[in-house]
Amino acid sequence: NAGVTQTPKFQVLKTGQSMTLQCAQDMNHEYMSWYRQDPGMGLRLIHYSVGAGITDQGEVPNGYNVSRSTTEDFPLRLLSAAPSQTSVYFCASSRPAGYSYEQYFGPGTRLTVT
């Protein structure tokens, strides 16, 4: 049982490049989400999904795209990287939304955009 896995762990992009951050979970969780963590800002929600085929925007969705074709995977796409997207990105999963179940977090991806 690997829990929530994220790849890559580190990435450097040039402004304008695109890339996909991968996230997978093997706990059969319906609920998955992406957060970004900036210094002094805590974690902020980018996008989330309550099940395969269903996604919605969070607090800071601009510049990011998501899809959820399977229960296990929830990739985050940066369409055209900007320096403001330099951050640490966390993927999380939990049992269905609306319950008190904790969110399990992946190890994070540190992204630098130059």
Between residue 8 and residue 27, which ones bind another protein under the rule CB under 8 A? none
Q: What is the gyration radius of the CA atoms in the chain, in angstroms?
A: 13
Of 92 and 113, CB closest to another protein: 92
Between residue 25 and residue 64, which ones bind another protein under the rule CB under 8 A? 31, 33, 35, 40-45, 48, 50, 56, 58
In single-letter form, the type of residue at position 31 comes to: Y
The β-bridge partners of 13 are 113
23, 73 Cβ separation under 8 angstroms: yes
Q: How far is the CB of 16 from another protein (least distance, A)?
A: 27
Question: Among candidates 103, 44, 32, which has minimal Cα distance to 69?
Answer: 32
The binding track of 59-98 with respect to another protein, each residue x by CB under 8 A or -, is -----------------------------x-x-x----xx
Q: Out of 16, 18, 107, 112, which residue is the one contacting another protein (CB under 8 A)?
A: 107
The token pair that represents 26 in the structure block: 């093997």
- CA distance readout (Å), 80 to 6, 48, 84, 95, 108: 20, 20, 11, 32, 20
Number of amino acids touching another protein (CB under 8 A): 26
Interface residues with another protein (CB under 8 A) are: 31, 33, 35, 40-45, 48, 50, 56, 58, 88, 90, 92, 97-100, 102-103, 105, 107-108, 110
